[in-house]
Amino acid sequence: MKRVGYFTHLDCMNHHMGHTHPESPMRLQAIDKELRSQGLMVDLIQFKSEPADIAQIKRAHNFEYIQEIQQIGENATIGGLIAIDNDTSIGPGSLRAALLATGAGCQAVDHLIAGNIQRAFCATRPPGHHAEKSLAMGFCLFNNVAVAALHAIEHHGLQRVAIIDFDVHNGNGTIDIFENDERVMVCSSFQHPYYPNRHFDTPGDHLVLTPINAGSIGHEYRQKVERDFFSALDRFSPELLLISAGFDAHAEDPLGGLNLIEDDYRWLTSMIIDIADRHSQSRIVSMLEGGYHLGALGRSVSAHIEMMLND
- 267-296: contacts with Zn ion (CB under 5 A): 290
Spot the catalytic one: 61, 111, 130, 199. Answer: 130
Is the previous residue joined to 238 through a cis bond, with omega within 30 degrees of 0?
A: no
Question: Which candidate, 173, 152, 154, 169, places its Cα nearest to that of 106?
Answer: 152
Is residue 248 involved in binding Zn ion (CB under 5 A)?
yes
Rounded Cα–Cα distance for residues 231 and 223 (Å):
13
In terms of Cα–Cα distance, which of 150, 215, 202 is closest to 175? 202
- Least distance between Zn ion and beta carbon 63 (Å): 27
**130 part of the active site:** yes
Rg (CA), the chain: 17
Phi, psi of 53 (to 5 degrees): -95, 165
* Pairing of β 88-90 and β 82-85: antiparallel
* Size of the residue set binding Zn ion (CB under 5 A): 5
Measure the CA–CA gap between 273 and 285, rounded to whole angstroms.
11
Shortest distance (Å) from residue 167 CB to Zn ion: 4
Neighbours of 281 (CB within 10 A): 13
How many Å apart are CA 311 and CA 306, to the nearest integer? 8
* Residue 165 dihedral angles phi and psi, to the nearest 5°: -115, 105
Tell me how far apart the alpha carbons of residues 13 and 15 are, in angstroms, rounded to a whole number: 6
Instruction: Work out how close the CB of 168 gets to Zn ion at its nearest, in angstroms, rounded to a whole number.
Output: 5
SS3 content of the chain, % helix, strand, coil (to 5): 45, 20, 40
Part in contact with Zn ion (CB under 5 A); list of ranges 31-39, 50-58, 161-169, 184-192: 161-169
Which residue, 167 or 176, has its beta carbon nearer to Zn ion? 167
Query: Judged by CB under 5 A, which of 27, 160, 169, 206 binds Zn ion?
Result: 169
* Residue 173 interacting with Zn ion (CB under 5 A): no
Among 236, 246, 253, 268, binds Zn ion (CB under 5 A): 246
Let me know: does 24 contact 111? Beta carbons within 8 Å.
Answer: no
Interface region with Zn ion, contact rule CB under 5 A, candidates 9-17, 117-125, 164-172, 258-266: 164-172
165 counts as binding Zn ion under rule CB under 5 A: no
Which of these ranges, 21-29, 51-59, 79-87, 239-247, lies near Zn ion under the rule CB under 5 A?
Answer: 239-247
Q: Is 73 a residue that touches Zn ion (CB under 5 A)?
A: no
Q: Of 62-70, 80-88, 185-193, 247-255, which segment contacts Zn ion by CB under 5 A?
A: 247-255
Q: Which residue is nearest to Zn ion (CB)?
A: 290
Find the shortest distance in angstroms from Cβ 246 to Zn ion: 4
Site string for Zn ion, 190-229 (x = CB under 5 A): ----------------------------------------
Shortest CB 189 distance to Zn ion, Å? 11
Look at residues 133, 13, 118, 11 and name the one whose alpha carbon lies nearest to residue 62. 133
In 80-121, alpha helices (H): 94-113
> Using the rule CB under 5 A, is 167 a contact of Zn ion?
yes
Stretch that binds Zn ion, among 12-20, 110-118, 196-204, 243-251 (CB under 5 A): 243-251
Residues that bind Zn ion (CB under 5 A): 167, 169, 246, 248, 290
Residues annotated as catalytic (active site), given as ranges:
130
